[in-house]
Structure 1
Amino acid sequence: MEKNSVITVITPTYNRAHTLDRVYESLKKQSFKQFMWIIMDDGSTDSTSQLVQKYIDENSIPIEYYKGKNRHKFITVFEGIKKVKTPYFVIIDSDDSWPENSFEILYEEVCSIENQDQYIGVIGHSADTEGNLVGSYFPENGFIGSILEMRYKYKVKGDKNGIFITKSYQRELDKFDYLIYENKGYIPQSVFFTIYDAKGLKTKFINKIIRTYHKDDNDSESVSNTRWKGKNIFGLREGYKAMLNNYSYQLFSYPKTLLRNLIGFQFYSFLNKKSLASNITNINNPLIKTMSVLTLPFSYIYYIINKR
Structure 2
Amino acid sequence: MITVVTATYNRASTIPRLYRSLCTQSSLDFEWVVVDDGSVDDTPKLLNEISEASPFPIRVIQQENGGKHVALNAGAQNALTPWILIVDSDDALVSSAVETVISGIRGQGASDVVGWCYRKAFFDMRVVGARVDEDNCPEYMSPTEAGHLFKGDLAYVFKTELLLRHKFPVFGEEKFVPELYIWNKIGDEGRICIHGNTVIYLCDYLEDGYSNNFSSNLRKNPIGFLTFYWSQIAREKSFFYKIKYSIRSVQCCIYVLLKRFS
TM range (shorter): 0.7 to 0.9
Whole-Å Cα distance in 2 between the matches of residues 264 and 69 of structure 1? 30
In the alignment, which of 131, 140, 144 is matched to residue 134 of structure 2?
A: 140
Partner of 1:120: 114
How far 1:271 sits from its partner (Å)? 3.2
How far 1:244 sits from its partner (Å)? 2.4
Compare 102-111 and 67-76 and name the one that shifted more: 102-111
Partner of 2:63: 68
- Cα 1:225–1:150 change in 2 (3 A) is closer
How far 1:208 sits from its partner (Å)? 0.4
Q: Which amino acid aligns with 2:144?
A: L
Partner of 2:210: 223
Whole-Å Cα distance in 1 between the matches of residues 221 and 142 of structure 2? 27
In the alignment, which of 3, 7, 24 is matched to residue 19 of structure 2?
A: 24
Contact 1:127 1:134 in 2 (8 A): yes
Whole-Å Cα distance in 2 between the matches of residues 32 and 182 of structure 1? 40
Unpaired runs of at least 5, structure 1: 1-5, 275-308
Q: Which amino acid aligns with 1:201?
A: G
How far 1:186 sits from its partner (Å)? 2.0
Q: Which has the higher contact order (CA 8 A, sep 6+)?
A: 2
How far 1:182 sits from its partner (Å)? 4.3
Whole-Å Cα distance in 1 between the matches of residues 86 and 22 of structure 2? 12
Contact 2:37 2:62 in 1 (8 A): yes
- Cα 1:50–1:66 change in 2 (3 A) is same
In the alignment, which of 202, 205, 220 is matched to residue 212 of structure 1?
A: 202
**TM-score under structure 1 length normalisation:** 0.75
- Identical counterparts, % of pairs: 24
Contact 1:244 1:262 in 2 (8 A): yes
- Cα 1:138–1:78 change in 2 (3 A) is farther
Residue aligned with 2:51, SS: helix
Whole-Å Cα distance in 2 between the matches of residues 115 and 272 of structure 1? 43
Partner of 1:129: 123
Whole-Å Cα distance in 2 between the matches of residues 114 and 181 of structure 1? 39
- Cα 1:60–1:136 change in 2 (3 A) is same
In the alignment, which of 140, 147, 151 is matched to residue 151 of structure 1?
A: 147
- Two-structure CA RMSD over aligned residues (Å): 2.1
Within 5 Å, which residues of 2 pair with 1:260-271? 260-271=244-255
- Cα 1:48–1:191 change in 2 (3 A) is same
Contact 2:82 2:161 in 1 (8 A): yes
Contact 1:120 1:169 in 2 (8 A): no
Residue aligned with 2:120, SS: strand
**Larger Cα Rg: Structure 1 or Structure 2?**
1
Within 5 Å, which residues of 2 pair with 1:174-193? 176=167, 178-193=168-183
Residue aligned with 1:46, SS: coil
Q: Which amino acid aligns with 1:164?
A: F
Whole-Å Cα distance in 2 between the matches of residues 200 and 65 of structure 1? 30
- Cα 1:90–1:21 change in 2 (3 A) is same
In the alignment, which of 160, 177, 196 is matched to residue 186 of structure 2?
A: 196
How far 1:49 sits from its partner (Å)? 1.5
In the alignment, which of 163, 168, 175 is matched to residue 157 of structure 2?
A: 163
Whole-Å Cα distance in 1 between the matches of residues 181 and 156 of structure 2? 18
Unpaired runs of at least 5, structure 2: none
Q: Which amino acid aligns with 2:105?
A: V
Q: Which amino acid aligns with 2:241?
A: T
Contact 2:33 2:60 in 1 (8 A): yes
Contact 2:29 2:98 in 1 (8 A): no
How far 1:139 sits from its partner (Å)? 5.3
- Cα 1:35–1:200 change in 2 (3 A) is closer
Contact 1:41 1:68 in 2 (8 A): yes
Residue aligned with 1:145, SS: coil
How far 1:20 sits from its partner (Å)? 0.7
Compare 186-195 and 16-25 and name the one that shifted more: 186-195
How far 1:213 sits from its partner (Å)? 1.1
Partner of 1:258: 242
